[in-house]
Homo-oligomer: A and B are copies of this chain.
């Protein structure tokens, strides 16, 4: 708590003295667990979401036959959404850390929670759909010779890692929304 207390104040009355110095005092930071917005942990989560989403997108987009499977096209689209969202929130986190500003505001947290919920669901759906197809090609059909199985598997794994980093962000934001 960065509240500065005045050095002199009345003795008898309960004076609420803290508010008199409120102009110079920086904003009060509520309980910021690591992993929440505007913490170093939160920034690390955002950066890893972004990095793995971009890796998944690049690996999948580098195969020449991904547009023939709907699930792979959906994976590319979902990774695009996830990387854009994570990059934006990483920038917000960097700004908040630099100016030492808390993002514990009901509207902001609600927006982050809904956005994180949607993007992480979309990412997980894309990863699961791609995993289903990849396993179908490699294990059930045994057609890895004529398909880019390794690339599909890599892209799918990166998508799962991106989701793994995205879901804590959602859970932290939802927790802080509920516990305020």
Chain B hits for A64, CB < 8 A? none
A-side interface mostly? helix
The CA-CA distance from A166 to B18 in the complex, in Å, is 47
Distance of A20 from chain B, by nearest CB (Å): 33
Distance of A132 from chain B, by nearest CB (Å): 3
A124 contacts B133, C-beta separation under 8 Å: no
Q: Give chain A interface residues in 49-88, CB to chain B under 8 Å.
A: 68-71
Known: A129-B131, A130-B132, A132-B132. A140 touches B68 (CB 8 A): yes
A71 contacts B178, C-beta separation under 8 Å: no
The 8 Å CB contact of A132, one of B71, B121, B179, is B71
Distance of A159 from chain B, by nearest CB (Å): 11
Using CB atoms and an 8 Å cutoff, list the residues of chain A in contact with chain B.
68-71, 121, 124-126, 128-133, 135-136, 139-140, 171, 174-179
A128 contacts B124, C-beta separation under 8 Å: yes
The 8 Å CB contact of A174, one of B124, B128, B175, is B175
Distance of A136 from chain B, by nearest CB (Å): 6
